[in-house]
Amino acid sequence: MKKILILGASGMAGHVVYTYLKENSTHQIIGTTNSTSFGDDTIELDIFNIEKLESTLKQYQPDVVINCVGMLIRGSKQYPDKTIYCNAYFPHLLKRLINESGGELIHISTDCVFSGKDGGYTENSFKDAVDLYGMSKSLGEINDDINLTIRTSIIGPELKEDGEGLFHWFINQKESVTGFKSNYWSGVTTLELAKFLKWALDKKISGLYHLTNSQPISKFDLLNTFKDVYSKNVIINDDKDYVCNKSFINTNKSVDYSVVGYPQMLDEQKIFMLEHKDFYKHYEL
């Protein structure tokens, strides 16, 4: 049994990862949150307080730290200084502190390290982001023989009512929305990310890994899949003018893990949400 410390256990990715691993793994799961508690084994930790970070790592001595902390696009525009610290500097600080005590880091990165001009990006594709969010996440990636960076893009429910993710936005729409037919995506649900992490914790995986089923889907088709799975009475208008292709593929054949298709991913996410209704009272399920 390993001791797993999850940073950002109340965030969009973190709360699902924390909950799923607590319920489905044999490891000891501890989570950190920025201000409010979430779950039985969460502790308050401000990642800008390096002294508290060091003392927390020393106290708990985790075998693996999963970093689900990150400044998102909206925050990067409001707080560029915090974005650089959180997305670019902090993962490397964390890596050094964890590795010095014999532990390993699993870090979550994003498809936004790419501009979206080309699509079909591999692990070795040139990272050409031009905005602060994408560039900061690019700088925060760690590719070595000890730690693991998972590059992906996530959708999923959020604990806060003012969330900014695509799924959160769509599920709160009432009438009509626009779906981009020429905007391609190939990420995963936060639940699928959690399932991969459970699998990876029992393996020895390091370096950079693209978590995807390598089957790009347009945002228009993705919204329609949301609509079908969640029985939303919403009209989705198509838009072909906006063009962006951040689709990425997995070329790492040494990792024997298969990501399911999008209908199954979203069906499983809905089941998870129905099983944890107390988390999602702000959604109509």
Domains contained in the chain, CATH given: 3-157+187-215+247-272 (3.40.50.720)
Identify the pLDDT of residue 38.
76
Q: Across the chain, how many H-helices and E-strands are there?
A: 10, 12
Q: ∠20-56-45 over CA atoms, to 5°?
A: 65
Count, residues in the chain: 285
- pLDDT of 254: 87
Distance of alpha carbon 35 from alpha carbon 37, whole angstroms: 7
CA distance 34 to 228: 35
Phi, psi of 219 (to 5 degrees): -65, -30
Nearest to 14 by CA among 54, 52, 65, 61: 65
> 80-97: buried (b, 16+ CB within 10 Å) or exposed (e) per residue?
eeebbbbbbebbeebbeb
Exposure string (b/e) for 220-240, b if CB count within 10 Å is 16 or more? bbbbbbbbebbebebebeeee
Q: What angle do CA 169, 259, 22 make, to 5 degrees?
A: 75
CA gap 252, 208 in Å, rounded: 9
CB 184 within 8 A of CB 144: no
- Pick from 241, 232, 238: which is nearest to 220 by CA? 238
pLDDT at 36: 66
Q: Do 132 and 83 meet the contact criterion of CB atoms below 8 Å apart? A: yes
User: Which letter, b or e, does each residue of 2-23 get, where b requires 16 or more Cβ atoms within 10 Å of its Cβ?
Assistant: eebbbbbbbbbbbbbbbbbbbe
The per-residue pLDDT for range 250-275, each reduced to its tens digit, is 999 889 999 999 999 999 999 999 99
Looking at the DSSP bridge assignments, the partners of residue 149 are 107, 208
Q: What is the pLDDT of residue 77?
A: 97
Decide: 66 and 106 in contact? Cβ < 8 Å: yes
CA 57, CA 61: separation in Å to the nearest integer? Answer: 5
- pTM of the entire predicted model: 0.97
Q: Tell me if residue 157 falls in helix, strand or coil.
A: coil
Residues of the chain with pLDDT under 50: none
Q: How far apart are alpha carbons 210 and 194 in whole angstroms?
A: 14
pLDDT, residue 37, reads 65
